[in-house]
Amino acid sequence: GGRFEVALSPSVQPTASGLDEVSFLVAGHAGAAPRPVGKVASGGELSRIALAIAVTTSRLGAAPTLIFDEVDAGIGGTVAQTVGRLMKQLGRDRQVLAVTHLPQVAACADHHFVVAKRPQDGRVRSDIRPVAGEARVAEVARMLGGERLSGTSLAHAQEMLSVGATASPVRKGRKA
């Protein structure tokens, strides 16, 4: 039930970018009046709007790399799978980097890195390490069920990674 609109209004005077002012308006749910995206959208919503625009215009642009920071904020389940599939679709033509906390999104990636923060000498240090094979299965299982891994979470992680590796693009007409 959400809506995204583009509003054009004449500028008071000509600017370097033209004679019109462009505003992006969004209504998060049915019945809500569209308002300026910068006033109503959270960081996660802004990322998902950027993802939708990137997917919609992917054939038009030539940006070699797209970066999404926590595009999965405030979502889960089926929507997270859709976001993962959309990013995989974008990754066919360019490099897509995403920070995610959801296993549904991570399982669609071609490569997986774990970022961990830890205190060191009174400061916070970030470590980044690639995970692949069984280590990746364990990481997705940790994302699913926490630090204590079980046979069930490992099996679920393996299944998610198998499905994510062959994720098909979102079909036209389906909502993301």
pLDDT tens figures, 1-41 = 788 899 999 998 998 888 999 898 988 788 889 999 888 87
Half-sphere exposure of 35 (CA within 13 A, CB side): 10
Q: Is 81 within 8 Å of 159 (Cβ atoms)?
A: no
Q: End-to-end distance of the chain based on CA atoms, in angstroms?
A: 12
DSSP code at position 76: -
pLDDT score at 169: 57
pTM assigned to the model = 0.71
pLDDT score at 1: 79
DSSP H stretches of helix in 18-107: 37-40, 43-56, 77-90, 103-106
Q: Determine the Cα–Cα distance for residues 170 and 168; give it in Å rounded to an integer.
A: 7
The token pair at 10 is 């004449």
pLDDT score at 160: 94
Classify 70 in phi/psi space as left (phi over 0), alpha (psi -120 to 50) or beta: left
User: Which residues does the chain have with pLDDT short of 50?
Assistant: 172-176
pLDDT score at 90: 87
Query: Given the DSSP bridges, would you call strands 123-131 and 112-120 parallel, antiparallel or unpaired?
Result: antiparallel
| Cβ neighbours, 10 Å, residue 155 | 12
pLDDT score at 175: 42
